[in-house]
Structure 1
Amino acid sequence: MTTDAARAHGAADESAAPAQRSGPDARHPDEHPAPAPRAELADPPAGSAAAAAGWMLVAGIILAAFNFRTAVTSVGAILAELRTGLGMSETVAGLLTTLPVLAFAGLGAFAPRLARRFGPRPLLTGALLTMSLGLIARAWAPNTAVFLLCSLLALAAGAIGNVAVPVIVKRYFPHRIGVMTTAYSTTLAVGTAVAAATTAPVDHLTGDWRIALAVWALPALIAIVPWLLWRPSAAAAAANPIGRLRGVSRSRLAWMMLVAFGCQSAIAYILMGWTTTILADDGMDAAAAGSMLGLLTIVQIPVSVVVPILTVRWGPRPVFLILMACYPPALAALWIDGGGPLTWTAMVLFGIGTSVFPLILTLFGLRARTPAGTSALSSFAQSGGYLIAGSGPLAVGWVFGLTGSWTVPFTVVGALAAVLFFAGLYVTRERFIEDELHPA
């Protein structure tokens, strides 16, 4: 047996029997969900060309993730100026706010096919270039129709990236899923928050909303650089090729992942879209209500850092139960004392609870044995899940318009949390999509 073969064989044996470990380095079986050859980028020798390629890939993933939501939150920050500048009606503005959900739901489904056809490097390079062009073009769009079309172009690139990155992590970092998911989910949250927080100040500084939107093409262009420099080795790519997994709709795991992803996203969208309105109705002034929403998003960032790592270290089930335990007291605090001192507690708990999102991103890798399985699971769950997510805020607004009361909307959030709980119990149990579709 050659040295390389022995190393791969040893890695597979180590992955196949994690339960035999003991001591402080013991880890949950979900950390190594399936025996697989160790790709050289997954654990490269220090100082080697493989190590340099590995770090270049890490940089590419992190920089790309920063850009996946900037096209969304940068618009929301200056929507009033944008509507005035383009003469946009309320109906079209409503379409603009739902366009990201439609893009993520419809266009993310094409990512697996594109990944198989072109490979990860051309796919992410092309997506980031498309995003840059879309962001620049929409900033100087002459009318609303062109603005929407260019926005869709930028959002399509983000949708493809959302699905492609978990596949790349599974392919090149099969033994580092928790750490890599932490890296890109945290960067995704940071990019989302930075775009939301700084677009309006840039608008005020320059006096031009078009410049404030166009600046977000710059980080997308910078993110292309690592992908142009990265040269994947044939051995690393051959160790975990991106194939095709058929019949995903027959998998109960895939449907439960779709439901879990959709419910957690719907809850997050409802909180992001309606929290300030609810608090204002409870007597809180606009600035304070905005700060409460800011508190929620700030709490999410450090929690998102530790959730994927703990998911791999402890196993998904205990982490999931801890996060879900935050929802009942958060809902109760907001219901009993909305606008009062308990609002702080509610926002902190909601910030922790909505960090189910990075846990589910981690499960895309842990619930598949192959990159093909991760690709199919991620695409199926996100495409359908975003349809559920988009309907959540619309349903809350519709119900509030009919009743004039927040009682039923609170019930909607509670019901979504209950469905998320039961779907989460299923997906956090160790199982693999390949085993459901191709039982032994």
Structure 2
Amino acid sequence: MSAVSTQVRARRRDTLPPALWLVVTGLLLAALNLRTAVTSIGPLLAEIQAGLSTSAAMAGVLTTLPVICFAALGGVTPALVRRFGDRIVLLTALGAMVLGLVVRSSVTSVPVFLLASAAALAGGAVGNVAIPTIVKRYFPDRIGPLTTAYSTSLAVGAMLAAAVTVPVEQASGGDWQLALGVWVVPALVAMVPWLLLRRPPAPPSHTAVPAAPARVRGIGRSRLAWMMLVAFGCQSLIAYVMFGWLPEIMRDHGYSSAEAGVMLAVFTGISIPISLVIPVLAARRPTQRGMMLFLVSGYLLGLPAMWWGGNAVVTWVGLVLTAVAMGTFPLMLTLFALRTRTPTGTAALSAFAQSGGYLMAGVGPLLVGVLFEATGSWTLPFALLLVTAVVYAVAGWTTTGPHHLEDELPPETAG
């Protein structure tokens, strides 16, 4: 028994050598920063509008900027990873994030602020695609636990940015630029593991995945790929409308800016326990249809309650139900690996769905700003969200079925 225990311990040490632990640390710290540049904006949107002298429509552009960046950069990330490697790509993206956060916290010019915000969002855009690919490459037998870990880290970062930004702004005498700039610190810390990781580690020998070509061609012929794009786009549209406009919606319901910031923090914080459970459960099942329909139903019940906002109880119930439905995000991240057979397929599906999905989602925050400014009411914006949730449920039925991307592509297009 002692010899067996020794062999088991040795096998576990071989499974995760120090270099791979460094990769895990780097993934978690990078994920912590993927949403801070986004969720730090919503609680201070009114102050930013005043400081930059912008309209509600221009605020819509600001809330749309994240998805535009994600769409533009997500599609090229696999090519960048093939050309320069995981370490260089993520390290460069985090460096761009640091630069953007510094610049946008020190200017009052709208064009410069938008450009700096785009740079700050580059890390999130690249990480969205690169991290699932890295998990598939180095941890193919731990997709559930690793997706749980980094999606939880992402949720923690989003919650902290939503919760802390307004108190920092108030403690600094109303300095909204300083409140946005503090998020440069965790971004700098996230760069450290990738600086220490001088060369890419080799995946553990017992976790080898099937051999794959350098790239997957003809992905546009896959029905699964298109349904993943639509599903991811619907999820992202709802998410970024909430990230950008939830504090303003709550202000119109009579809450203060600090209370609205807390509500956004609670909204993002609820996704933490959801992120701990969803990927692991999803990885254990051949299909995830029941899980998807359960989560999407939270949108269909929660959004009308938030829309009505008749009293505090109804508003909070709607907020909680909608936040639970946001658990579809870690589910989508898990599906990128579960619906593919190789790291190359994961990268191709992730890039295709995220770049196109974020492009589709980019309409949401901007359209909400235009609709609200035109009507002075949240009725049409919430109607848009409810229609999006219904489309999401339809597309989600396909994405959670027992399919694999590579099986839908003819042999001549998969190599």
Please indicate the TM-score interval, normalised by the length of the shorter structure: 0.7 to 0.9
Amino acid at match of 2:184: A
SS of 1:326 mapped into structure 2 = helix
Deviation of residue 281 (structure 1)?
A: 5.4
Q: Which residue of 2 aligns with 1:248?
A: 219
Amino acid at match of 1:233: P
Taking the TM superposition and a 5 Å limit, the aligned residue runs for 1:3-152 are 45-48=11-14, 50-83=16-49, 87-90=52-55, 92-141=58-107, 143-152=109-118
Q: How far off is 1:382 after superposition?
A: 1.0
Report whether the alignment pairs 1:218 with 2:173. Answer: no
The aligned amino acid for 1:213 is: L
Most deviating of 359-368 and 395-404: 395-404
Larger radius of gyration: 1
How many residue pairs end up in the alignment? 397
Q: Deviations over 1:46-91 (max 9, x none)?
A: 3459522221111110001111122222334444554555x44336
Q: Could you tell me the TM-score, scaled by structure 2's length?
A: 0.85
Measure the CA separation in 2 of the matches of 1:282 and 1:147.
29
Q: Secondary structure of 1:341's match?
A: helix
Deviation at 1:97, TM superposition (A): 2.5
Cα gap change, 1:289/1:234 in structure 2, threshold over 3 Å: closer, same or farther? closer
Tell me the equivalent position of 2:139.
Answer: 173
The corresponding residue for 1:163 is: 129
Displacement of 1:406 after TM fit?
Answer: 4.8
Q: Could you tell me which residue of structure 2 aligns to residue 366 of structure 1? A: 338
1:119 and 1:44 map into 2 onto residues whose CA distance is: 29
Mapped to 2, the partners of 1:163 and 1:209 lie a distance apart of 31
Kept in 1, the 8 Å contact 2:247–2:260? The answer is: yes
Residue 205 (structure 2) pairs with residue 233 (structure 1): no
Superposed displacement of residue 301, structure 1: 1.8
Counterpart of 2:329 in structure 1 is 357
- In structure 2, distance between residues paired with 1:419 and 1:78: 31
Q: Does 1:432 align with 2:399?
A: no
Distance 1:371 1:216 in 2: 32
Q: Which amino acid aligns with 1:432?
A: H
Q: TM-score, normalised by structure 1?
A: 0.80
Q: Distance in 2 between matches of 1:257 and 1:282?
A: 35
Tell me if structure 2 keeps the 8 A contact 1:102–1:387.
Answer: yes
Unaligned runs of 5+ in 2: 1-8
Instruction: Give 2:3's aligned residue.
Output: none
Q: Distance in 2 between matches of 1:190 and 1:171?
A: 25
Gaps of 5+ in 1: 1-42
The alpha-carbon distance between structure 1 residues 334 and 65, as it changes in their structure 2 partners (threshold 3 A), is closer
In structure 1, C-alpha distance between the alignment counterparts of 2:366 and 2:213, rounded to whole Å: 37
Q: Does 1:205 align with 2:177?
A: no
C-alpha distance in structure 1 between counterparts of 2:374 and 2:328, whole Å: 31
Q: Which has the higher contact order (CA 8 A, sep 6+)?
A: 2
Contact in 1 for aligned 2:216/2:345 (Cα 8 Å): yes
Name the % identity. 53
| 1:363 partner letter | L
For the 8 Å contact 1:284–1:339, the answer to whether it is kept is no
**1:111 deviation in Å?**
0.3
